[in-house]
A = this chain, B = another copy of it.
């Protein structure tokens, strides 16, 4: 090893879900939306003048920030935007988790949290979930340097109540509490903890355009919090990269977030398909916690999950599988279109019949 390598930050990176380059795949592995973005996005895209690419974008991405603020009824100074919610959460780890006490998050959760803690040298404790993959607020009453969990949780799809989350926040006035609401729009209206922002200045709510707004390919995430939290995040962000959101993304993102009607109808379709999928999967012997997201964390009882994963892949149907303790009995199946889900059910019948 060369001497310069001693100074290298050595890490084990997060492994994202497979993004196959071949076509004809039924892709139920990365929780993408099966429907295209709002027609308003295409209109904004087409109206963009290419010659403008030569100019830097607005560093504050104000057009997008303002559109988000208006849609969610907050001030623009309460909104932070980033290159997907991963960028937003990564910035939040850097900004808020500077304590020597450990940051707390569930043991079964988004598997990027421990990667961010490692890369930034942040101590952390992975708190075991309770029966039924539930979060026990009592587990988060202990000295800590911050708290983060998704709601609904991933990859379980389990939703916790605003009351439970308020308990966690109220017990932790000395820490920043981050609620990662990547999937909240699939849980029905009124489930977000955004209303708690009026009471707690240490609460940061993170959401994304990648799921409910069909824009994973454009990389837009955002956080809403107190003006103070957002100011601290922006100071760190502007110490890393002045211009993170490009001109096309700003225009398309603003158009997307303003089209509430399309958004609601798309989400409703996915929820309907999900509720049907619960019945179909149960009929095929799968067990799963009740999902309030755009995926189902389902355990096949007839064959090992790893085997079902491989067999589905042979049939060009991709779902997500982790060969890890506790969760290796499960598959995380994204809700696609009705046609895609029917193809999945047919493939499962074939696989179980052959077994």
Q: Which residues of A contact B (CB under 8 A)?
A: 2-17, 19, 21, 27, 30, 32-37, 41-42, 45, 50-59, 83-84, 86-87, 90, 94-99, 115-116, 118-119, 145-146, 173-176, 201-202, 210, 214-219, 228, 232, 234-249, 252
Contact A16 B99, CB 8 Å, known A2-B201, A7-B145, A86-B242: no
- Complex Cα distance A146/B9, Å? 13
- Taking a contact as CB atoms under 8 Å apart, the answer to whether B58 and A19 are in contact is yes
- Taking a contact as CB atoms under 8 Å apart, the answer to whether B241 and A8 are in contact is no
The contact of A51 among B36, B52, B176, by CB within 8 Å, is: B36
- Taking a contact as CB atoms under 8 Å apart, the answer to whether A16 and B248 are in contact is no
Number of copies of this chain that the complex holds: 2
Contact A9 B94, CB 8 Å, known A16-B59, A246-B218, A248-B248: yes
8 examples of A-B residue contacts, CB within 8 angstroms? A4-B173, A4-B176, A7-B145, A13-B236, A19-B56, A83-B241, A94-B119, A218-B247
- Taking a contact as CB atoms under 8 Å apart, the answer to whether A86 and B27 are in contact is no
- Taking a contact as CB atoms under 8 Å apart, the answer to whether A14 and B201 are in contact is no
- Taking a contact as CB atoms under 8 Å apart, the answer to whether A8 and B242 are in contact is no
- When distances are taken between beta carbons in the complex, the residues of chain B under 8 Å from A202 are 2, 4
- Taking a contact as CB atoms under 8 Å apart, the answer to whether A16 and B56 are in contact is yes
- Complex Cα distance A202/B61, Å? 36
- Taking a contact as CB atoms under 8 Å apart, the answer to whether B8 and A232 are in contact is yes
- Complex Cα distance A34/B259, Å? 35
- When distances are taken between beta carbons in the complex, the residues of chain B under 8 Å from A14 are 238-239, 242
A sample of 19 more A-B contacts (CB under 8 A), given A119-B236, A218-B246, A218-B248, is A2-B201, A4-B176, A7-B175, A9-B94, A9-B96, A9-B236, A10-B232, A17-B56, A19-B57, A32-B54, A36-B51, A37-B54, A53-B215, A53-B252, A54-B214, A54-B215, A55-B217, A56-B217, A57-B219
- Complex Cα distance A3/B17, Å? 38
- Taking a contact as CB atoms under 8 Å apart, the answer to whether B249 and A246 are in contact is yes
- When distances are taken between beta carbons in the complex, the residues of chain B under 8 Å from A97 are 7
- Taking a contact as CB atoms under 8 Å apart, the answer to whether B59 and A19 are in contact is yes
